Structure 1
Amino acid sequence: MPQLSGVHHVKLPVTDLDRSRDWYTSVLGLGVDIEFTEDGVVRGLALSDPDGSLSLALRHDPERAAALAGFDLVALAVPARDTVQAWLRRLDELGQPHGGVVTGHRGGSVLVGLHDPDGIEIRLYAD
């Protein structure tokens, strides 16, 4: 059987691309790699973290974004449990609401309740 080697990227629907660009770059520290333009209008973005280990895409799609509001669609890996605590402090400094840190199923640390501008929950997870 052919082998899979990981996730290439995750694409998230958004209602307002500029607002989401600002949130993902300022809160999560991602950078914009590519803008996808259709009929002269930017409709999507490819984002990554500084070392290129994480790739997310944002796509203007208000209907799907509304349908996913409140759902914990993705858990982003962080290198260690103490890094989850560092994220907690960063989010607090930014005044970014979240649900705190809980124990994960494998005993790791999980920051829950962090929502992007469309209400999609982004969890930060360390085993």
Structure 2
Amino acid sequence: MPQLTGVHHVKFPVSDLAASRAWYEKVFGFEVTMEFPDEQGVVRGLAGAVKGLGDAGLALRWNPEAAAGIKGFDPVSFGIEDKAAAEEWAAHLDDLGIPHSPVIDATIGWILVFHDPDGTEIHLYSFAAHGIDQTGRKGYGRHVES
């Protein structure tokens, strides 16, 4: 089988490119490095970098229908170190006035959940595991035998 070499970029559909750009800049420090104009010269997409995503980029694409279609869905989980990092992010979001979940003991690690301007659910999930056995807990994952 051919091999993957990583994640190139994550792209979110948005209904208001300017508002989403401002939000992603404020929340994640998104640095725009490219614009994508349509045939009439109207910018319909942006791409750039977010510190902590390594070589993976972040892109925003004007597509109101797709943005409405994933409202409340979590297409990607961004990695954070541990519970302390989740608590730091919660404080950052509080400072920005952005509503969020409490720090949750998820299936494997800790998670913080909030929404972008279109209602797309953003997950910050810890790489550190908490060691809590969530087997049988409604809505939580379970390991499968291979």
- TM-score (norm. length: structure 1): 0.91
Q: Shift of residue 94 of structure 1?
A: 1.0
Letter in 2 for 1:75: S
Which structure 2 residues correspond to residues 33-72 of structure 1 after superposition, within 5 A? 33-38=33-38, 39-50=40-51, 53=54, 54-72=56-74
Which structure 2 residues correspond to residues 1-127 of structure 1 after superposition, within 5 A? 1-38=1-38, 39-50=40-51, 53=54, 54-106=56-108, 108-112=109-113, 114-127=114-127
Count of residue pairs brought into register by the alignment: 125
List 4+ stretches of structure 1 deviating above 6 A: none
CA pair 52-88 structure 1, distance change in 2 beyond 3 A? closer
Higher strand share: 1
For residues 14 and 20 of structure 2, the distance between their equivalents in structure 1, rounded to whole angstroms, comes to 7
Q: Is the 8 A contact 2:83 2:103 kept in 1?
A: no
Q: Which runs of 5+ in 1 are unaligned?
A: none
What value does the CA root-mean-square deviation take over the aligned residues? 1.4
Q: Shift of residue 52 of structure 1?
A: 5.5
Q: Which has the higher contact order (CA 8 A, sep 6+)?
A: 1
Aligned with 1:40: secondary structure? Answer: coil
